[in-house]
Amino acid sequence: MTIPLAALHVFCPMHVALDRFGHIKQAGATLHKLGVPQLEGRRFLDVFEVYRPRAVDCMTQLLRTEGRKLHLRLRSGKRTSLKGHLVPDGTGGAAINLSFGIAVIDAVRDYALTSADFAPTDLAVEMLYLVEAKSAAMDASRRLNTRLQGAMLDAEERAFTDTLTGLRNRRAMDHVLTRLGRAEAPFALMHLDLDFFKQVNDTMGHAAGDYVLQNVARIMLDETRKDDTAARVGGDEFVIVMSNSVSCERLSDLAQRLIARISKPVLFDGRECRVSASVGISQSDGTHTDPATILEEADIALYAAKRAGRARFAFYQAGPAEITSMPQNAAAGE
């Protein structure tokens, strides 16, 4: 039974009907969207190249492909690949139904095709919906992962940050010391404690005390390197961890600058806030890296500096008996 050509438009929107000379009598609406001008009347093999099976260059050879899958591509434009199946019409002509095969996703994008451009029973339409749904799900998943990673980084940053001063906190300092200890890397540690800070809080209020702490934090960030860790580890206690080998001369210079700058009075609400700083310094050569021990040694040196008159710094060397204390002018660092 011969299928009317009009029915092919409904069932096969990507068909071509050929006369016995191999010219296109009728082409489906979808094929007209592929950018090929004036399909009807043109020789089929001038519009489409059959590259499998090979050596198909006339209508006679084309009819011999009945029952075999044709692999074709457009001879011009985007040269889109197509699959085809030929059925003779009994009068020397033929009808060929075409499809995009696995290239359907690219074809939909290249030619702005919609579901109306495919046969109602074509599984390609359902596949397109699945691909689109999968793509949307993957995009949503990537966006969610990005947000989660950002939230995780923000949470980690907050977990390692002192909210008042913006410096690292004790947890961050412990993390850095543990890492340096595992790497057996040399480093130096300064333990800094503010002198007379309680008097500022008691006489001028906690807002003034907070302002002083923030000013100290700014000074510490100004005076330290990018790779150093400046942390607030207590109410008015701070620690600086300096990675890599640092000379005693450099540590002494840093301690002097910190003490001199912190000792300068700052104005809060029109009144002067006066504090100074005492500093204890301990060093690790890479073999002596237990964090608790290094902190304890810096703490011992710090209180030796306080006992010696405050606004001073002290190095821990081999034991309490060998601590040296170096005075600094609390007012001007002269």
Query: What mean pLDDT do residues 196-204 have?
Result: 94
Q: Please report the pLDDT score of residue 157 as a whole number.
A: 66
Query: What mean pLDDT do residues 44-54 have?
Result: 94
pLDDT digits (tens, 9 = 90+) for 84-102: 999 999 999 999 999 998 8
Q: Residue 331: pLDDT above 50?
A: no
Contacts of 34 (CB under 8 A, 6+ apart): 74, 77, 78, 80, 111
pLDDT digits (tens, 9 = 90+) for 239-267: 999 987 788 999 999 999 999 999 999 99
Nearest CA to 244 out of 180, 186, 179 is that of 186
Q: Please report the pLDDT score of residue 151 as a whole number.
A: 72
- Write the DSSP symbol of residue 161: B
Query: What mean pLDDT do residues 131-159 have?
Result: 76
User: 57 or 143: whose pLDDT is higher?
Assistant: 57
pTM over the 0.85 mark: no
Q: How confident is the model at residue 41 (pLDDT cuts 50, 70, 90)?
A: very high
325 DSSP β-pair partners: 314
Residues serving a catalytic function are 236
Distance, in Å, from the CA atom of 324 to the CA atom of 326, rounded to the nearest integer, reads 7
